[in-house]
Amino acid sequence: MQRTLVKDALNSTGPIDTILLQGWVRTRRDAKAFSFIELNDGSCLKGMQVIVDATLPDYAAVNRANTGASVSVRGKLVESKGGGQKWEVIAETFAVLGEADTDYPLQKKGHTMEFLREIAHLRPRSNLFGAVFRVRSRLAYAVHQFFQERNFHYVHTPIVTASDAEGAGDMFRVTTLDLANPPKTENGEIDNAEDFFGKKTFLTVSGQLEAEIFACALSNVYTFGPTFRAENSHTSRHASEFWMIEPEVAFCDLQGDMDLAEDFVKYLIRDIREQCAGDLEFFSKFVDKDLLTRLDFVLEKPFVRCSYTEAVEILEQSGKTWEHPVAWGDNLQSEHERYLTEEHFKCPVTVYNYPRAIKAFYMRQTDGCAPGRETVAAMDLLVPGIGEIIGGSQREERLDKLKAGMALHHLDEKNYWWYLDLRRYGSVPHAGFGLGFERMLMFVTGVANIRDVIPFARTPGTAEF
RNA sequence: UGCCCGGUAGCUCAGUGGCAGAGCAGGUGACUGUUAAUCACUUGGUCGCUGGUUCGAUCCCAGCCCGGGCAGCCA
């Protein structure tokens, strides 16, 4: 007999004579003549109430159906006599497939997120994490849907790379050399030519440069994959391994880039709002009371756009005392970004045209800047509660300017020969951005810590699962 | 990496320089179309580790380990 998912059974339009449900026991309440069992199979937040009558030949098994046990139930789907649920299942056969010892750590009552992180192998069975990871799955689907609907092509950029990309952060080394006894050159230095790839290799920090290659061939592309940063960051919004979405668009300028970013973020929110309504309701009840109003607000209002120079003026005139001083030429600090999006504009803000000196070498120099006020066509999208969720730019398509940018950042042209070639052969204006997938997921669910939106989070010192 | 907070029962936490506490979970029994059921009884401790101060340390001090927050780095 075909198994029915709890989700489908709960959505049934009428009673069903025989139905097979399989899942895990959330709670059991025994009465004299029968037992109530709440069965959850992860297909949705809610479970199905199962009633096992004491006269049933299988009733002895109920005793072993503790919280956490896996069970298989065949029976009738009928309208519930009790309040609290529309449908329930009257069991005809009942079997425990896998018992759960009484030390099953997931209790029916309050756990801290910190404790649940330590049982990452069991936490998906909790209401909260079940919901988080269903939303994560749907959000990934929506990412592809957004780009595929717009004729973007999905490019798989390498995970192991020899280029340190943009200096986006410290990198994890990839090697097969014997660390205890590495081959040495005549100078006594480690001989990287002997390594697996014949040179030093790392885990990628960004697929952007490779995505640019494909944008300069397929026009509209995006990457969506894992990225790695070996930064010793201890914050609620940084992970050593995270997923990033990086669209790259040929024949596109900064304006188009900002438009795309705004459309993208709104599309994702709208999709989750519609497709994961039950899970979002749960988050708004137990995680973040303002979640739904904030998401709806973001959908309705156009994002504010504000140049870096204007932002600096706003911060200077705010009357606030800053822990980090505000000055044109310095990076905006977290407290500044938070003020802009949470207090001043009270909505998502795209800040653009940042000082050239503090941004990456590949960003396009703005023409006609006042001396000492040189900027590049960079943009950051800031959202309330999280801060930076997107960072992007129009790329420098002019060979001489790109070389100047590399010189400014003390980069060796030899390492970027293929990147420079893109400007030699049919160069076009192009732009793109990176969206932190987990940060978007935090925004959409209201979950405050990035470790709780990744199935198995990697942070400094932690890789248990 | 810097600053700050925490570590006591399986979980969430209280507490004290002098016999280690509660709620929940677990166990036993009762009761009930129950809803994180309810009621009664009950098991359960290396008070993070190491050292120091003290007649006596879970409590005070130092070092270390672990968890968390904020900042920097960024997505």
Q: Which nucleotide is nearest to A448 (CA to C1')?
A: B69
d(CA A13, CA A8): 10
Contacts for A165-168: CB closer than 8 Å, 24+ residues apart: A165/A204, A165/A205, A165/A206, A165/A208, A165/A209, A166/A205, A166/A206, A166/A208, A166/A209, A166/A360, A166/A361, A166/A362, A167/A360, A167/A409, A167/A411, A168/A205, A168/A206, A168/A229, A168/A360
Written as six digits, the tokens of A264 are 């993208």
Q: In the structure, how far is the CA atom of residue A212 from the C1' atom of nucleotide B59, in angstroms?
A: 62
In this model, does residue A193 exceed pLDDT 60?
yes
Residue A136 to residue A154: CA distance in whole angstroms: 19
Q: How far is the CA of A463 from the C1' of B52 (A)?
A: 36
- Sort residue A436 into left (φ over 0), alpha (ψ -120 to 50) or beta: beta
The pLDDT assigned to A64 comes to 87
Q: Cβ contacts of residue A459 below 8 Å, gap of 6+?
A: A233, A234, A238, A239, A240, A451
A451 nearest nt, CA–C1'? B68
Task: State the pLDDT at residue A167.
Answer: 62
For residue A197 the two structure tokens come to 């790839």
Q: Using the structure, give the distance in angstroms from the CA atom of A235 to the C1' atom of B38, rounded to a whole number.
A: 43
Pairing of strands A220-228, A349-355: unpaired
Cα separation, A283 vs A59, in Å, equals: 36
SS (H, E, C) chain A: CCECCHHHHHCCCCCEEEEEEEEEEEEEEECCCEEEEEEECCCCCCCEEEEEECCCHHHHHHHHCCCCCEEEEEEEEEECCCCCCCEEEEEEEEEEEECCCCCCCCCCCCCCHHHHHHCCCCHHHCHHHHHHHHHHHHHHHHHHHHHHHCCCEECCCCCEECCCCCCCCCCCEECCCCCCCCCECCCCCECHHHCCCCCCEEECCCCHHHHHHHHHHHCEEEEEEEEECCCCCCCCCCCCEEEEEEEEEECCCHHHHHHHHHHHHHHHHHHHHHHCHHHHHHHHHHCCCCHHHHHHHHHHCCCEEEEHHHHHHHHHCCCCCCCCCCCCCCCCCHHHHHHHHHHHCCCCEEEEEEEHHHCCCCECECCCCCCCCCEEEEEEEEECCCEEEEEEEEECCCHHHHHHHHHHCCCCHHHHHHHHHHHHCCCCCEEEEEEEHHHHHHHHHCCCCHHHCCCCCCECCECCC
So what's the pLDDT on residue A16? 95
* Sign of the torsion formed by the C-alpha atoms of A434, A435, A437 and A438: positive
Nearest nucleotide relative to A80: CA against C1': B33
The type of residue at A13 is: T
Mean pLDDT of A108-121: 86
Of the pLDDT bands very low, low, confident and very high (cuts 50, 70, 90), residue A396 is: very high
Q: Phi and psi at residue A158, in whole multiples of 5°?
A: -70, 150
Environment class of A186 (CB within 10 Å of its CB; exposed 0-12, middle 13-18, buried 19+): exposed
Subset of residues 363-402 in chain A with CB less than 7 angstroms from any atom in strand B: 380, 387-391
Cα torsion for A323, A324, A327, A332, to the nearest 10°?
-110
CA of A115 and C1' of B60: distance in angstroms?
30
Nucleotide nearest to A239 (CA to C1'): B75
Interatomic CA–C1' length for residue A433 and nucleotide B55, angstroms: 70
Subset of residues 119-178 in chain A with CB less than 7 angstroms from any atom in strand B: 168-169
Nearest to A91 by CA among A44, A25, A7, A43: A25
Residue A264 has pLDDT above 80, yes or no: yes
What are A269's two structure tokens?
Answer: 């929110």
Nucleotides of B under 7 A from a protein CB: 1-3, 10-13, 23-27, 31-37, 66-75
Greatest alpha-carbon pair distance for chain A in Å reads 89
Sign of CA dihedral A394, A397, A399, A401: negative
A439 contact to strand B (CB, 7 A limit):
yes
Q: How far is the CA of A103 from the C1' of B26 (A)?
A: 8
CA A5 / C1′ B32 distance in Å: 30
Closest to A265 (Cα-Cα) out of A377, A385, A155, A381: A381
Chain A span 279-318 residues with beta carbon within 7 Å of strand B: none
Mean pLDDT of A335-353: 94
Answer whether any strand B atom is within 7 A of the Cβ of A31: yes
Least confident of A70-79, A107-116, A325-334: A107-116
Weakest-pLDDT range from A347-351, A376-380, A382-386: A382-386
User: Which range, of A9-23, A79-93, A213-227, A387-401, averages the lowest pLDDT?
Assistant: A79-93
Q: Which nt has its C1' nearest the CA of A435?
A: B75
Using the predicted structure, report yes or no on whether residue A308 has a pLDDT greater than 80.
yes
Distance A323 CA to B2 C1' (A): 15
* Rounded distance in angstroms from the CA atom of residue A463 to the C1' atom of nucleotide B46: 27
Q: What average pLDDT does chain A have?
A: 93
Q: Is the pLDDT of residue A166 over 80?
A: no
**Residue A111: band (very low, low, confident or very high) from pLDDT cuts 50, 70, 90:** confident
Q: Provide the percentage of residues in chain A whose pLDDT is more than 90.
A: 76
Q: A170 pLDDT band (50/70/90 cuts)? A: confident
Q: Which pLDDT score, from 0 to 100, does residue A109 have? A: 66
**Å separating the CA of residue A402 from the C1' of nucleotide B55:** 78
Query: How far apart are the two ends of chain A, measured CA to CA in Å?
Result: 35
pLDDT recorded at residue A84: 83
pTM greater than 0.90: yes
The separation, in Å, between residue A253 CA and nucleotide B11 C1' comes to 54
pLDDT, tens only, A266-293: 999 999 999 999 999 999 988 998 899 9
Cα A18 to chain centroid, rounded: 40
Q: For A106 and B22, how far is CA from C1' in angstroms?
A: 21
> Rounded distance, CA A26 to CA A15, Å?
23
Say which nucleotide is closest to residue A53, CA to C1' distance: B33
Identify the pLDDT of residue A410.
87
Q: Strand B: which of residues 34-63 in chain A lie with Cβ below 7 A?
A: 36, 38, 49, 51
Is residue A165 scored above 90 in pLDDT? no
The first and second tokens of residue A396, run together, are 């420098």
Confidence band (pLDDT; 50, 70, 90) for A82? confident
Bridge-based pairing of strands A153-154 and A87-98 is unpaired
pLDDT score, position A270: 97
* Confidence check: pLDDT of A369 > 80: yes
Integer Cα distance of A335 and A59 in angstroms: 61
| Percent residues over pLDDT 70 in chain A | 98
Q: Is the CB of A108 under 7 A from strand B?
A: yes
Report the pLDDT value the prediction gives residue A164, as an integer from 0 to 100: 61
- For residues A392-413, average pLDDT: 94
Q: Which nucleotide is nearest to A323 (CA to C1')?
A: B71
Is pLDDT at A337 greater than 70 in this prediction?
Answer: yes
Domain architecture of chain A: domains with CATH:
6-98 (2.40.50.140), 125-151+234-452 (3.30.930.10)
